[in-house]
Amino acid sequence: MADQFCCQYACIDDKANFPYTLFVTQNPKTAQLQIRLSSAQKRAIQRAAARAGMDMSAYVLSRVLSVPARQFQDAVRNCGGGDSRFALAELNTLLSSLSAGELREAIAESPTVTLTPYMSNTIAAMVELACASHSIAPPAWTRDIEPLAEPAFGSALQSVRLHLLKSSPATFRRRNLFVDASLGDRI
């Protein structure tokens, strides 16, 4: 078990205790990138990383790769599994917690996994609703997702369908999805 925390590459800094050990084991590094910089630039990066409480690799990655975008892609990837209710709840929590700028950054790229039409529409509707709550335009990739051909209801109970037809948020209704709770709400 301890072997999975070891890195096969020599580190560019001398910190041994990484705060992101769990992330490294879940998302193993399989490639390497070298950049050329001056000694002064390296010292500046080392100082900035130390101020942030990170090693140099983590600091550079945090500056280059968008944390909200990675979180969004990870949350969407989790929605592709079997029982997606909890994964959708986590995505809901993420989208609800982002500021307008973070949201724009997080959803700029379309999901990188293949999803069912139902799941693609659900995620697109959630993203569109989050955008509407921040008064920002939804990303273009949401328009590329065709609405469902048949209506999908958040409950199998026939007696609840009229309520769902009336109370479902517009972003969901446009996609032929009829749910009771919207972004930020919990059932």
What confidence tens digit (pLDDT) does each residue in 95-112 have?
999 999 999 999 999 999
Q: How far apart are CA 125 and CA 159, in angstroms?
A: 24
Tokens of 185: 């709400």
With H, G, I as helix, E, B as strand and everything else as coil, classify residue 148. coil
**C-alpha torsion sign, points 65, 69, 73, 75:** positive
Tens of pLDDT, residues 50-88: 998 888 888 887 777 678 998 999 999 999 877 788 899
String of DSSP letters for 31-80: --------HHHHHHHHHHHHHHT--HHHHHHHHHS-HHHHHHHHHHHHHT
Domain layout of the chain by residue ranges: 36-65, 67-178
Q: How far apart are CA 50 and CA 162, in angstroms?
A: 58
Q: How far apart are CA 130 and CA 99, in angstroms?
A: 10
176 pLDDT above the threshold of 60: yes
Confidence of residue 28 (pLDDT cuts 50, 70, 90): low
Q: The whole model's pTM is what?
A: 0.67
